[in-house]
Every structure is written in C-alpha cells, then in structure tokens.
A and B are shown apart, each in its own frame.
Chain A
Amino acid sequence: MYDSPLRKTEVDTNASKISARDVQVYYGDTHAIKDVNVEILDKTVTAFIGPSGCGKSTFLRTLNRMNDTIDICRVEGLIELDGEDIYDKRVDPVQLRAKVGMVFQKPNPFPKSIYDNVAYGPRIHGLARNKAELDEIVEKALRRGAIWNEVKDRLDAPGTGLSGGQQQRLCIARAVATEPEVLLMDEPCSALDPIATSQVEELIDELRENYSVVIVTHSMQQAARVSQKTAFFHLGNLVEYGDTSQIFTNPVDPRTESYITGRIG
C-alpha cells in the first residue's frame, strides 16, 4: 500500500498555509463538524479520509466558504489563511475563492469551448492584459492540467464533449488558471477510470511544487500514494492527523487502525 512510485520527496516544508482551530459546522440542527483543529501545510498534499458522511467534504468546503451558498449552514471557530481569518466580515468570499480554488467530485465543465472554460477565471479576475497573454495563461494551465496535448488542436470544441477523465483534467486546468494558492479537491477521481485516475494523481503530485493541495478521497491507496499528510475523520470528529506514512503504518487511534484495515467504514 505504501510503495507508490510517485513519492519522490518527503514533506519538505513546515510552513502552515491554513490553520483551523475549534471549527464547528452546523446544518440546521445537525452538528456536522465537531472541534476540528488542523494545520494544512504549504506545498504539501493533505488527504482527508474517512467513511461517508463523516464530514470531510463539509470541512473542505468551509476552507473556501463554499458553504456560504447553503442557507442553513453555520460555521463557528477560527479558520486562518496565511494568518488571516477567512470568516472575518471584511473578507470577500469571492476573492477568497480565487485564492483557494476547488475541483469537484463530478467533472463540471461549463457549456463553453475548452478555451473559454480555462479562460473563465483569468477573465473575471482580470489576470491578462491582452489576448496573447490570455492565450499564454490558457496554454500553461492546460499543460499543468496534463491535457494540452489532447486538446491543443480543438480549443474551440465544447468542453462538455470531452471524455470524463479529460473533463476532470480540464476542470483542474480551469482551477489552476486563476493561480490559486490552495487547491481543494473533493474526490476528484471518483468518477474516473484507473488510467484517468493515475493521470490525475500524477498531476496532483506535480501541483504540489506550487500549491498546497487538499484532497478528499475514499480510496486509501490513493491517499497513501499522493499525500504527505493525512487526516482521518469519523462522525464529524478529526480523529487523527499526521504524516501519511505514520497514519498508514502506525496509527495511534484504534479507530484509525480499524478504518484503514477495513474493519469499520
């Protein structure tokens, strides 16, 4: 389980990017996240694992305030990005989401051309001075998304016409194009076949050079392959958080051990 060829480097930075302290999330009367404390490091892939409904996706969505779009959702506690409270009244959630990008479980390309999909973020944030610069940004993002070679001849074709795996890589390229500092990925491979999955995983490992990546996954092999840090959630609690190698070989909490060996889930 721990023999992935992708692991090239160990955790090489300890700079904290996002720190969460005593975070509580409520959906109406349901207490979905309880007392979560976590430090997410820069230039690191952090995996959130845990059984369905344990709150890992909910917690992920609190990190870029995507839960704001849900009326009944309420967040308490402190979440800081680079030392600044992201739930402060002065923070514009729209600016925050430009810094903390997100890739979703189901590929969701816009019904536009491939080019316009990727250029969407740079255009609304005004990142390019002219068309040539925009072309450059799009090409760079598509290369980062490891899909440039497949689509470079048909940038005007609709993004919805691509295969599932290509669509997901297009969505990653789209998220990368806005130059976020953190990339949140909510089960990005759950709708993909093994080949597309391995392409996306390679991509995640490359993205680590520039970004802090947080990935929610149901596949423990995937968590072990791509991440350096792992957090195990169970019933809304953060049970254990540590180096991936330690979580998968020598878990402290008995619940973690039960889960990664397949006894609970």
Chain B
Amino acid sequence: MPVLWLILIVLALAVAGYVAGRARAISGAGDDRRALHSLPSYYGWNVAMKVMVPAFLVLIVWLIAQPFIVNTKATSLLPESAIPEGSTLGLVMSDVRRVADGLDLSVAQGLLSAGDAATLTVGGSDIRAMLGSAGVAVGTEITPEVLAAAQSYRSTNATGDLLRSIVVIGLGLIGGALALAQTNPDFRARNAVERGIRAILVGAASLAILTTIGIVLSLVFNTIEFFRIYPASEFFGSFTWSPSFGGGSQLGIWPLLWGTLYISLIALLVSVPIGLFAAVYLSEYAGPKFRAVAKPALELLAGIPTIVYGLFALLTVGPLLLSVFGRDGLGWMQAGTAVMTAGLVMGIMLIPFVSSLSDDIINAVPQSLRDGSYGLGATKSETIKQVILPAALPGIVGAILLAASRAIGETMIVVMGAGAAARLSLNPFDAMTTVTAKIVSQLTGDADFASPEALVAFALGMTLFVMTLGLNVFALFIVRKYREQYD
C-alpha cells in the first residue's frame, strides 16, 4: 500500500475518532455538556491525537529504517566474487536496485507476471532487453547473483510494506480504542490535549536542534577524514591555495580566509554607517507617512535573492569601478571582478539587516529618555548621539555582528563579483576569493570524493561554521549583558 494511502487512512481514522470521542463524551454525560470536565471538542481531539501521534511516529521511523534493512539483506546475498574487478559493492548494489526497479516496472506494464518476476532466472530469457523495453537501462550483463539479490530486494520490500501498513493502522486503531475507553465525563480531556500539544511543540523544537547537530556531525566527520589524508599543519600553515586534482596540491586556508575577511570588512564599512544612519533617520526624524513607505521599501532589499545582487555586481558595479579605477582611469584595477566590487554590493545587501534591526532597537529606547534630554535643552542630534545611541548600543552591536556573520557566509555575490583567484593582497581592486566560493568550486565538478581536494571543502565549511558561530555567540553575549540598562 502506498504511503500516501496509509497517511490518508490514518487521517480518516483520526476524524472518525474525533467524532466518536466527542459523541461518546456527550452521551456519557446524558446530553448535558455542563456535566463534562472539558468542552466536548477536547474529548474528540484527545481520541484523534492518540490515533495519529503513535501511528505517524512509527510510520516515520519505519520509512527511515526499512531501506537499511532491505539493503543489508540484499547485500548479504552478494558473494565476494560477484563484485567485478575495479568495481565496488556500492556500484553493484546500485545495479541490484536498478534491476529490482526494472522488475517492478515490467510487472506494472504487464511484460511479466508477478510470479514470473520472483522466479525469473538468468538463463531463461534476455532480462536486459526486457528491462530495456520497460524503460530501465542496465549497464552491464546481469549476473545470477545480482538477479537473486534483486529478487530478494523486491520480496523483502514487499513484505516490509505490508507489515508497515498493518502495524501503522493497527497502532492507530489501538490508540483510538484506548482513548475512547478513557472517555467519560470525568476524564480530564482538556489537560490531556494540553500535554499532547506541548509534546508536539517540544518535538518540533528538538527536531530543529537535532538537525543542527546532524549538520555539525557530518561536517566534523568529513573534516576528520580530510585531516587524516592532509596534514593540518599545512592547511593552517600554508599561504598558498593551489588545488590540483592530479595530486600534489597545496591547500592553505589563509588566502581564502583573508579574502573572506577583506570582503566582509568592506561590506561592513558600507553597510554599517548607511544602515545605522538610515535607521536613525527613520526612527527619529522621518514623519509617519514617509516612514510607512520607506521602511518596507528598505526591507525589500533584504528580499532580493543574492544571485540578483551577483548580477548587479557583475554587470553594473564591476564595469563602473573598472571605468574609474581600471586601465583607462587610475590603473589600479585589472578586471571588473574584485574585492571592492563584491564588498560594495554585499554592503548594499546588508543595509536592510543593519537598519531594520537598529531601527527596532532605537524605537525600544523609552520616550522618557528623549523627553529628559529635550527638557534639558538638547537638540535632536545631541540627544541621539549622547542618549539614544549609547542606550541602544548593545542592540546595535548585536545587529552589526549578525550582519557580519551574513557577510562571512555569503557566496553568490563573491562567486560573481570577486573573481576566483585565491591570493593574499592588500589591494582592494585585486580579484580574490572567499572560503564559501571555494567550497562551491571544490565540490562541484567531477572530483573523486575521497581526495583531499574535495574533502577540503568540509574543513573549510567547519572553519566558517566555527567563525560565524563564534560571532553569533559573541553578539548574543553582548546583547544579553547590556540589555537591561535602561529598563
């Protein structure tokens, strides 16, 4: 039974459970809803929840676990000799899966009866041609071992699917029946539903955290793998970045790190003053009408995809800078892609982050502080400079650090605006590249995934992760430490 049907059946069971639970509660109270502990709908929800939650939980776990079990079983049927010279178990297993899929398709198209598919042997007919006519192309000739494994794969999968349907529906029915049995006028359905909702919310929150942990772990293991085949002292100590997939590459992080920091620095130099001044204007000087238009317009900048900023850098800002600083002008710039191009455009991208957060923070400074300052005869800008900005400073620092971590993690603008040369240079009109851009170029392409040239991407990712994590933690620390100064 397909999963979609299974889900629909459980949902239908839940609806039925809701109606039944509600009806049972009302009839148990002698049609007088005042005699119930909770509102009738709570009894219904209690039953529906107890149908759905265990059934869906088991379904999710099953969906994750079944492929593993089926794979292991099929793998155990493949003897060592079935793996040809120069191939790997993984490649053979993918053949097995293709054959199994092909058999499924053949049965579905009527080329093969279900019984024949299970008992087919290599000698009987040209399976490869048949699978081909069903729309599945198998690269190599099918060996008996592969066919046997594919047949086992199919049968285990079918048994698993059947068992899954039975267990899931059965759990739903049992849960619903137990909940219905609980249902009587004195049952505290409202509290039970409250606990259930709490559990669901906790589940959602922990899923987010678990995913983060998963991401970090995958980074960590691949990073360890990288350092096993490439010395860490070279990675952190070398000032040269020259990967060559033929081997003998030098993978020093410093040119990339320098590019990242240089571009981020320029981006912050652009975005922090402009964003901050815009925020001060919007929150202190602008009239309500202008503010109502300008603030959403500024925040619109944050909604533009970074690839569009990249185009802007490549097609507009780069040539513009080149015409001023290039060979026809001051002669500092060789090509349109440069640190300055990417930094300027990234700065524009970050303006709304700084201004929007700072604006909220400045607005949160109590009006009484402004009144106090005006009452002493201070002008608006004196008040802003000496009272409002100091009071809002922790929040503003937090906003800037968040913008900085965005800048460090930005990829698209760098790929399109900064060039691809990894170099250590002080000239902001030179092309440089960043950690993120190099992660992209190391992983895309047809590199061997076990080579240090590909695995270095994970070490770079880990470095970035640690950097932005550090910045975020520092931002949170600053914000927390000074937050309650004026409360």
Contact = CB atoms under 8 A, between A and B. Distances in A.
B377 A110 contact: no
B376 interface: yes
Contacts of B287: 71
Interface stretch (B123-131, B213-221, B265-273, B384-392): B384-392
Interface string B349-373: 0000000000000000010111111
A210 B214 CA distance: 72
A106 B371 CA distance: 11
B368 A110 contact: no
A110 B372 contact: yes
A121 interface: yes
B485 interface: yes
Contacts of A175: 375-376
Interface residues of B, number: 22
B441 interface: no
Nearest to A116: B386
Contacts of B371: 66, 69, 102, 104, 108
B390 A94 contact: no
B486 A124 contact: no
A171 interface: yes
Interface string B374-399: 11111100100011001100000000
Nearest to A171: B372
Q: How large is the interface on A (under 10, 10 to 19, 20 to 34, 35 or more residues)?
A: 20 to 34
A171 B101 CA distance: 81
Contacts, number: 77
Contacts of B382: 124
A124 B377 contact: yes
B377 A111 contact: no
Nearest to B372: A108
Nearest to B375: A102
A111 B376 contact: no
B368 A104 contact: yes
A96 B378 CA distance: 10
A51 interface: no
A159 to B, nearest CB: 10
B374 to A, nearest CB: 6
B375 A111 contact: no
Contact of A98 (B376, B386, B387, B486): B376
A127 to B, nearest CB: 11
A242 interface: no
Contact of A69 (B372, B374, B386, B387): B374
A68 B116 CA distance: 92
B374 A97 contact: yes
Given A110-B387, A111-B390, A111-B485, A94 B368 contact: no
A110 B374 contact: no
Contacts of B372: 104, 108-110, 171, 174
A160 interface: yes
A101 interface: yes
A85 B369 CA distance: 28
A125 B287 CA distance: 28
Contacts of B373: 110, 120
A108 B386 CA distance: 15
Contacts of A104: 368, 371-372, 375
A109 B485 CA distance: 11
6 contacts: A94-B379, A97-B377, A121-B376, A121-B378, A160-B485, A174-B376
Q: Which 7 A-B pairs have the closest CB atoms?
A: A98-B377, A102-B375, A108-B368, A97-B377, A108-B372, A121-B376, A111-B485
Interface of A: 64, 66, 69, 71, 94-99, 101-104, 106, 108-112, 120-121, 124-125, 158, 160, 171, 174-175, 178
